[in-house]
Amino acid sequence: MAERDWISFWDSPHSIYVNARHHDAHYRRIADDLAPYVPPGCAMLDYGCGEALAAGSIAERAGTLILCEAAPGVRAALAARFAGNARIAVRTPEEVATLPPQSLDLAILHSVAQYLSGAELDALLRTFRRLLKPDGLLLLGDIIPPDVSAATDARALLRFGARDGFFCAAAFGLLRTVFSRYWLMRSRLGLTRYDPRAISEKLAATGFAATRADKNIGHNQARMTFLARPR
C-alpha cells in the first residue's frame, strides 16, 4: 500500500528539510497560516501533523488540540515534546476514529491527501464528517493540481528560502533531492492530484460543501487549500 510506504518514509531519517532553519520556518509558516481559522477555545484535530514544531502556538488559542500521526517514531517524539502541555493530546489514527461524533470544531488535513489513494481520502473525509460539529470546519490544505510539476515546487522552495534566509541551502538541497529516497518514492508511487472541480466533487460526495481558500496554507501557492463544512 502506498500510504504505508510513505508512513515508513516519514518515520525514518530523510532530507526533506534542507537545514534546521528550513525545518523551523516550514512549521512556523503553517502555524501562522492556520491561526486565523482557529476559533478561540475550540476542539481541533491536526491529522497527519508530522513533527508539528509550532503546535504550541496553535494550542494557546485552541481549547484542545489533538495531534494525529501514523508514523510511530514521529508520534513518540510528539508525545515527548508536548508531554507538559495539557491542551495537546497525541493520538493514533485508530484512536481518532473512535472519537465521539460531532466532537470537533475544526479538522486539519494539510499536505496529506497527495500521499493517499482516492479511496483512502474518501474514507478519511467520511470520518471527519462524522466527527465535526454541524457548524464545524474541515481545512484541506496543499492539494496539488494536475499541472503543478516538481519544477514548480522547486521554484516555490527557492522563493521560500530567499525570503527566510536559507536560499543557498535550498538550492543545494534540491540537487540532493534528485538522488534521494524521497525522489525515488515519488517517481515510483507518484502523488495524488486533483483539479478544483474533482476535489470539490469528492468533498460533496462525502457530505461537505466546499470553497477554495484565497491562498494555500504554507509556502507553495501553486497548491490549493479548500474550506469544507458539513451539509
For the stretch 103-142, pLDDT in tens is: 999 999 999 999 999 999 999 999 999 999 999 999 999 9
Predicted local confidence at residue 74, as pLDDT: 95
| Confidence category of residue 179, pLDDT binned at 50, 70, 90 | confident
Predicted local confidence at residue 186, as pLDDT: 78
Residue 142, sorted as left (phi over 0), alpha (psi -120 to 50) or beta, turns out to be left
| 81 pLDDT above the threshold of 80 | yes
Residue 14 grid coordinates: 530523510
For 60-67, the CB contacts below 8 A with 24+ separation are 60/87, 61/35, 62/38, 62/87, 62/106, 63/87, 64/89, 65/89, 66/90, 66/91, 66/96, 66/99, 67/91
* Burial track 175-205 (b if 16+ CB lie within 10 A, e otherwise): eebeeeebeebbeeeebbbbeeeebbebbee
Predicted local confidence at residue 88, as pLDDT: 98
Predicted local confidence at residue 18, as pLDDT: 84
**CA pair distance 11, 48, nearest whole angstrom:** 12
Task: Give the bridge partners for 47, in sequence order.
Answer: 68
- As a whole-number percent, the residues of the chain with pLDDT over 90 amount to 78
Tell me the whole-structure pTM to 2 decimals.
Answer: 0.92
Predicted local confidence at residue 8, as pLDDT: 86
Query: Do 225 and 213 meet the contact criterion of CB atoms below 8 Å apart?
Result: yes
Neighbours of 20 (CB within 10 A): 10
Predicted local confidence at residue 195, as pLDDT: 97
**CA pair distance 8, 186, nearest whole angstrom:** 14
| Confidence category of residue 175, pLDDT binned at 50, 70, 90 | confident
Query: Do 30 and 218 meet the contact criterion of CB atoms below 8 Å apart?
Result: yes
- Return the CATH number of the domain spanning residue range 2-230: 3.40.50.150
Neighbours of 23 (CB within 10 A): 15
Predicted local confidence at residue 150, as pLDDT: 86
Predicted local confidence at residue 80, as pLDDT: 97
Predicted local confidence at residue 170, as pLDDT: 83
| 1 pLDDT above the threshold of 60 | no
Q: In the chain, what are the domain boundaries?
A: 2-230
| Confidence category of residue 77, pLDDT binned at 50, 70, 90 | very high
Read off the pLDDT of residues 7-59 as tens digits, 9 standing for 90 and up. Answer: 888 888 777 888 889 999 999 999 999 999 999 999 999 999 999 999 999 99
Lowest average pLDDT, out of 184-188, 194-198, 203-207, goes to 184-188
Predicted local confidence at residue 2, as pLDDT: 64
Residue 89 grid coordinates: 493530546
